[in-house]
Chains A and B, each alone.
Chain A
């Protein structure tokens, strides 16, 4: 217990025993203290769950979402199409082309097939086909479920990113992490419920914009917004005291502030004042808990080696992945890492190679690390972009290089950990990886499944806004993907 609360507790007891009756301040303090006690006993009162949630016992307690922004090519990673080698530079049959092609390629006279230039091989006990771009992820295929037929409605980055993260193409809806924070709260009193990270990416890659709405609260209360954990010296905004102010000064100020605010509470009776007192105390705790969190000196060399050499570089994807593990370990509910640069319209083999090099080892390390610590069973890891890429080349096509346009009809995502069956693959696409032929999965079905793993029924997890029972998964019926559940 911190000194201020201890002092207040003493005061309260004195009042209780000294006065004939309890004063208002006493009641308030008593209730603060009671809630402090409860927070120790059960889950946090800093981030309480909604009453009635979770709906059922979910396998996963937390989610780490690895968003590969820009649209990774399914054809060069997971969706193996050996038959395409013979189709090199031949036109994609016209009846495959639908109306929704971006205007970047809809004017092309030709739609020449670009087979992947990368070698695929089978890995793991499940015999999963994986491209040579993902040598590390290839080693954990028995722990992950690959969905090859995810589809979305949007053909452009902005609406597609908004869709994948908020369940709607139109800005204004809460992000998935905000929904989860709103529903389940978090089991930490020292850190936010929902943390977002925006790591560096290879400089030569074609990067798209990110939007704060991807971790924003939409119409949910603002406290459910994702808190961005930054790469540099100030990992949470305004965490550091101003120059010349040290921890003890801040403590002294907060003691005075607590006393004065307690007087205000006695005067006004507004329970929001109690909340404010406890939020200032939480802010103070974060001033130590966040530096502790980001101090990787506590990690063993073998753990760091697992994530690869970039783990020591601030702002790297590898470091973010390791921080994600540390966050969920400390009770944070949702961690979302958004890695940019996957929008390979041209020079794809080179750009995609760099992207994979930057992320592959750390993605695999994260799953392995969680597993080694016994955390994988209660942590859901999700990997994927906002759409896939076309089988036909955009721009120049040679055996060595090609580009691919946006492709919303099928793309690959994988999930691992809490609630997910490892070593499975779901969905089949046609010979051009142009349309699903079995088990199509809408992006909001992925979202429904994520909620399911957390013990949330996505259909009843709603909030009335603008006359509608709003939910993450939209108004259309969506199903949980049973086939990949453990």
Chain B
């Protein structure tokens, strides 16, 4: 039981309660004084402890020393050493000592005296005690009871336009549409408000609005965050967060999936994507870095972020020393760190888009699509088999007597490169055409302004040069674009066999050698020519293995067709003609391009006994892919197959991947790192949770992240639910019940409504961690529905509105401000998810900062609809954030952020008035305004309702129209100026509107979007 009847106090006065009436309470009245002034030397940190005295524990504080004195003698301040020391005039004696620069004022001293007099009762820190649920229903009784003890009551309920805008902004980050407003205003029945709330809760934009708050916590960004700050592809995690809120994933599962989705049995793709949470920390690939230091930093960040996000504990202090104020030792910290210290991701991120481990993010239908490719491939295979059945292949090695050596033609290139060849091109991609053709059904087209070529040098089986070889090739020069030179090249152990026709300007090989044999003049353009070249001219002699060839042009376009070699060969011994010879040649070798089972069989050689169907498969493969006498019958099918295979590969490559978290197979040993130095390990530690909190239940011998995640959401954990409901409260009301939403430790602020916080925490947990239900509870409370206007005393007495005597009123966040302008203008593109986009950004935000080799050095602004996506999807470069984010207090996402500031600066004013994004929205909005109503007053009304949900007062209309009239007069007199104004930005102005009038309305729209009321949530 702790501070059950805490009166509601305005923040500043927590430690300065008037001495009087009710008994003092340790947590509320005493701990803040001791923590601020005494605990640094007389607290938890054993290393820094002076005089062996602890004041943070009651049983220690009352112990007597060797002289029989005690720091605290309950009931007797005058006998208590602390009273004697704090009231001493002697600089040697007085506490806190002058050199600590801390000082107790007289009220604090008096509070301590009274507390000792009352018996010096201690309480454990409130947040480490389990929350207790005071019986009661709903939020309001707690608020009302607290207000009653102080005087003011709840303010009246706000009017409906204010309410719907407040709810819409809080739940979707967008203003309501006029239709939504009208529907709400027109609903007289009971429950109209709740129905309105439920509509917004069901909106898919709910997830987007909720997600951006969590993404601050998760420190999500689209770049690595350090040094090169290259792009990182992990946006699937961002989209997962959006979807998790939209699906209303229970918060316990939300926790487990992110911290340990990979450790769940048979994790779904979604659960793996969720583990991206722990890959969002900044990483580096900076040359010269020391791996051990980086790995250490990453684990520290992950442990600190987890403690911060779920436990509201600032565990980071314990990196170097025992926490001075909270009972978190360095050993506690490094035990937590040990959960994350076996990360499989590397120290150096390689500046890569995807730093492993990653997973493919398969869209629904991915498997079906891949299956379709498989089916198309099988169909082609079947046609090949059918084709093979029509051919009678006789292995010359089986003939008796063996055939004599003879001159035969081997075709190396016909409608396709050899099977398996890894074909590459310089210039345009590899292109086969059906016209002109010399042979078969296709020819290869190659063109280039300079040197350009198609070639391969790996992937296919070697081709054997026969005895007395004579090569042939068919070439056709484009009459409209004849090249200066054409060339064929062959690769044996190197590219050193060439024949060329024409000007000899391609700088390959030494002139006058077989590396650069000039075979003659170019043929006449527009006709096919067959060329024959003696192998010896190119240095190609019998028995050589050709592993690649190339077709090359310079300065024009040529077509290549049927290429091969004529030579004497012994058919029975030639692996390109004899199945037996081929099997013998491949024994013990790898056969690139062959299916894996065939590869294995070939490697085992012909000596190994094979079943007949296996031999048949080998034989089919030989006939279709290898045999120079038969493979040309299959060339077209090969090309078809290659096309499908390429389509499959391209389609697969287009599927994005995302960062996930995995552990190494063997855990890395973890140690307490002395003074936070990565290279000074101390005591070894194993994964464990802080000793001050309830014990961890572990499934295996060594605790893992799954145990940790389950421990976080276990009913006995006193912090997780409190921290979560407080953060959602902060989102809805602008400030948490615990103001220091990032710190629930003893140095954090006390809850303004402790019983309410606990009631919410327990209800949340008992209700199945239902986030939508929790949010609904908050926004349907009477406290949320109050009007935010209040007399000046209310603002003066409680500037942060912690008493909730008025409705929440605070500035919109960066994303909401931009999204609102886009939304009311109609420009907004409400697509969901995907890679981050690059909206308008002034030049030289990235460029002057970025490292030369960074792939985010140059900002490439998007065009069209991508300029108008919701701000959640703006590409987030962490070392140079978009100015909107910087100006409006969005964190850079380099470290976890639980609460944003809300500043009010001239740079914000400049941006909202002058940024093309905002001015374009204003002028496009102006066109909508003009279309909404013929009368100027009606137009002002439409504009006000669109942005503020409420109509303007007559006085406001008059002020706006006076401004409008003056601007209209100006622009009528200066239509060229009007034209400039209404064409600022990429979107074209609507046709048929009078430009001076549109410009004047654009300024009106700019005015209304800059109203204080437009920038805040009332």
Instruction: Indicate if A59 sits at the interface (CB-CB under 8 A).
Output: no
- What residues of A have a CB within 8 angstroms of the CB of B960 in the complex? 256, 260
Determine if B844 and A232 form an interchain contact, defined as CB atoms under 8 angstroms apart: yes
Roughly how many angstroms separate A103 CA and B286 CA in the complex, as a whole number?
10
- What residues of B have a CB within 8 angstroms of the CB of A283 in the complex? 906-907, 909-910, 913
9-residue interface stretch from B22-30, B317-325, B818-826? B317-325
9-residue interface stretch from A366-374, A418-426, A459-467? A459-467
Instruction: Indicate if A222 sits at the interface (CB-CB under 8 A).
Output: yes
Q: How near does chain A come to B850, taking the closest CB pair, in angstroms?
A: 6
Instruction: Indicate if A479 sits at the interface (CB-CB under 8 A).
Output: no
Q: How near does chain B come to A32, taking the closest CB pair, in angstroms?
A: 14
Determine if B288 and A467 form an interchain contact, defined as CB atoms under 8 angstroms apart: no
- What residues of A have a CB within 8 angstroms of the CB of B282 in the complex? 171
Roughly how many angstroms separate A459 CA and B102 CA in the complex, as a whole number?
12
Determine if A279 and B966 form an interchain contact, defined as CB atoms under 8 angstroms apart: no
Roughly how many angstroms separate A279 CA and B795 CA in the complex, as a whole number?
20
Roughly how many angstroms separate A235 CA and B747 CA in the complex, as a whole number?
42
The total of Cβ contacts below 8 Å across the A-B interface reads 241
Determine if B903 and A221 form an interchain contact, defined as CB atoms under 8 angstroms apart: yes
A-contact 0/1 string along B901-936, CB 8 Å cutoff: 101111111110111100100000000000000000
Give B297's nearest chain A residue, CB to CB. Answer: A170
Give A243's nearest chain B residue, CB to CB. Answer: B980
Instruction: Indicate if A211 sits at the interface (CB-CB under 8 A).
Output: yes
Determine if A467 and B325 form an interchain contact, defined as CB atoms under 8 angstroms apart: yes
Determine if B984 and A103 form an interchain contact, defined as CB atoms under 8 angstroms apart: no
Determine if B743 and A237 form an interchain contact, defined as CB atoms under 8 angstroms apart: no
Beyond A213-B894, A221-B901, A249-B967, whether A466 also contacts B742 by CB under 8 A is yes
Determine if B290 and A268 form an interchain contact, defined as CB atoms under 8 angstroms apart: no
Determine if B956 and A260 form an interchain contact, defined as CB atoms under 8 angstroms apart: yes
Instruction: Indicate if A83 sits at the interface (CB-CB under 8 A).
Output: no
Query: Among B317, B789, B977, B1011, which residue has its beta carbon within 8 angstroms of that of A244?
Result: B977
Determine if B911 and A156 form an interchain contact, defined as CB atoms under 8 angstroms apart: no
Determine if A249 and B904 form an interchain contact, defined as CB atoms under 8 angstroms apart: no
B-contact 0/1 string along A244-269, CB 8 Å cutoff: 11100110110111011101110111
Determine if B956 and A238 form an interchain contact, defined as CB atoms under 8 angstroms apart: no
Instruction: Indicate if B842 sits at the interface (CB-CB under 8 A).
Output: yes
- What residues of A have a CB within 8 angstroms of the CB of B792 in the complex? 24, 27, 269
Query: Among A104, A227, A243, A466, which residue has its beta carbon within 8 angstroms of that of B907?
Result: A227
Determine if B959 and A260 form an interchain contact, defined as CB atoms under 8 angstroms apart: yes
- What residues of A have a CB within 8 angstroms of the CB of B1007 in the complex? 253, 256-257, 260
Query: Among B101, B323, B892, B1016, which residue has its beta carbon within 8 angstroms of that of A216?
Result: B892
Roughly how many angstroms separate A27 CA and B795 CA in the complex, as a whole number?
14
Determine if B316 and A100 form an interchain contact, defined as CB atoms under 8 angstroms apart: no
Query: Among B101, B789, B844, B905, which residue has its beta carbon within 8 angstroms of that of A269?
Result: B789
- What residues of A have a CB within 8 angstroms of the CB of B788 in the complex? 268, 270
Determine if A103 and B288 form an interchain contact, defined as CB atoms under 8 angstroms apart: yes
Determine if A257 and B326 form an interchain contact, defined as CB atoms under 8 angstroms apart: no
Category for how many chain B residues contact A:
35 or more
Instruction: Indicate if B851 sits at the interface (CB-CB under 8 A).
Output: yes
- What residues of A have a CB within 8 angstroms of the CB of B854 in the complex? 209
- What residues of B have a CB within 8 angstroms of the CB of A279 in the complex? 904-906, 908-909
Query: Among B227, B228, B849, B915, which residue has its beta carbon within 8 angstroms of that of A198?
Result: B849
Determine if A237 and B290 form an interchain contact, defined as CB atoms under 8 angstroms apart: no
Determine if A208 and B851 form an interchain contact, defined as CB atoms under 8 angstroms apart: yes
Roughly how many angstroms separate A57 CA and B792 CA in the complex, as a whole number?
37
Determine if B909 and A209 form an interchain contact, defined as CB atoms under 8 angstroms apart: no
- What residues of A have a CB within 8 angstroms of the CB of B978 in the complex? 244
Beyond A238-B915, A263-B955, whether A102 also contacts B981 by CB under 8 A is no
Determine if A243 and B880 form an interchain contact, defined as CB atoms under 8 angstroms apart: no
Q: B777-803: which have CB < 8 Å to A?
A: 788-792, 794-795, 799
Q: B960-993: which have CB < 8 Å to A?
A: 960, 962-963, 966-967, 970, 977-984
- What residues of A have a CB within 8 angstroms of the CB of B225 in the complex? 171
Instruction: Indicate if A225 sits at the interface (CB-CB under 8 A).
Output: yes
Determine if A237 and B956 form an interchain contact, defined as CB atoms under 8 angstroms apart: no
Roughly how many angstroms separate A157 CA and B955 CA in the complex, as a whole number?
59
- What residues of A have a CB within 8 angstroms of the CB of B317 in the complex? 466-468
Determine if B903 and A223 form an interchain contact, defined as CB atoms under 8 angstroms apart: yes
Specify which of B849, B911, B915, B966 lies most central, judged by the most chain A CB atoms within 10 Å of its CB: B849
Query: Among B747, B748, B850, B909, which residue has its beta carbon within 8 angstroms of that of A280?
Result: B909
Q: How near does chain A come to B305, taking the closest CB pair, in angstroms?
A: 11
Determine if B895 and A171 form an interchain contact, defined as CB atoms under 8 angstroms apart: yes
- What residues of B have a CB within 8 angstroms of the CB of A269 in the complex? 789-792, 794-795
Give B749's nearest chain A residue, CB to CB. Answer: A464
- What residues of A have a CB within 8 angstroms of the CB of B1012 in the complex? 261, 264-265, 272-273, 276-277
Query: Could you list some 11 contacts between A and B, CB below 8 A?
Result: A103-B288, A170-B895, A198-B848, A223-B905, A242-B919, A244-B978, A245-B1003, A269-B789, A269-B791, A271-B795, A279-B909
What 4 new A-B contacts, CB under 8 Å, besides A253-B1007, A269-B789, A279-B908? Answer: A155-B290, A158-B226, A271-B799, A283-B909
